[in-house]
């Protein structure tokens, strides 16, 4: 008996990205990135060169706009963050959930923002659905100095309801503001 390998067929089309909107932070209390609708089934947000006005360590948070309002409750998630230094690679790796930090279920923890800058990529599948909760995944990195890099991963959703998700709001802890940063929303085209 002999077998003949038949490679899988090449896809007839590949996804491409369409820029929906871009916002640039300038000592901003919040960045409200909106424009998600049924035009595209899936969306991606890229954040880059994000810094805090205070220049101190902080956290970048986000909230979902569902049913026309940025929700302040019902967030469930897992968040991982760690750094690259050999002495801390194990002890500074943390999986946390919504009950770990003081914010509880009022928001997502997205990135650990250190004294320099951070960046992230977030995916939001099918935000215009009105029959399902909206899962969100994100990966990010933060520069903690000339020899330290932090990474983070977020898996979560807001369970307020199954209405359409139309925006994401980004902000920092306390009274700190976002000094710089570019936040770009893309729709993914299937053809």
User: What residue segments make up the domains of the chain, in order of their start?
Assistant: 16-189
CATH code for residues 16-189: 2.60.120
The answer, yes or no, to whether residue 110 has pLDDT greater than 90, is: no
pTM as predicted: 0.85
Q: What is the pLDDT of residue 101?
A: 55
**Which residue has 């998630």 as its token pair?**
77
**Which residue has 């946390």 as its token pair?**
96
The answer, yes or no, to whether residue 54 has pLDDT greater than 70, is: yes
Q: What is the pLDDT of residue 127?
A: 95
Highest mean pLDDT of the ranges 98-112, 116-130, 148-162: 116-130
**Which residue has 């595209």 as its token pair?**
40
CA atoms within 13 A on the CB side of 185: 23
CA angle 94, 90, 136 (to 5 degrees): 30
Q: How many Å is the Cα radius of gyration of the chain?
A: 18
The answer, yes or no, to whether residue 11 has pLDDT greater than 90, is: no
Q: Are 156 and 63 in contact (CB under 8 A)?
A: no
State the pLDDT confidence band at 135, using cuts at 50, 70 and 90: very high
């Amino acid at each position: 008996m002999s077998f003949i390998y038949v490679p899988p067929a090449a896809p007839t089309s590949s996804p491409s990205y369409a820029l929906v909107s871009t916002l640039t932070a300038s000592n901003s209390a919040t960045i409200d990135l909106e424009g998600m609708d049924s035009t595209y089934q899936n969306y991606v947000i890229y954040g880059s060169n994000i810094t805090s006005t205070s220049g101190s360590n902080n956290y970048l948070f986000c909230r979902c706009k569902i049913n026309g309002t940025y929700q302040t409750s019902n967030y469930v998630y897992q968040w991982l963050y760690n750094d690259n230094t050999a002495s801390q690679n194990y002890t500074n790796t943390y999986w946390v959930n919504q009950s770990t930090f003081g914010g509880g279920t009022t928001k997502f923890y997205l990135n650990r923002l250190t004294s320099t800058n951070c960046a992230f990529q977030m995916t939001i599948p099918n935000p215009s659905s009105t029959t399902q909760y909206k899962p969100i995944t994100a990966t990010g990195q933060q520069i903690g100095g000339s020899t330290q890099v932090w990474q983070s991963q977020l898996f979560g959703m807001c369970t307020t309801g199954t209405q359409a998700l139309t925006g994401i709001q980004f902000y920092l802890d306390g009274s700190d503001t976002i000094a710089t940063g570019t936040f770009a929303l893309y729709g993914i085209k299937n053809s």
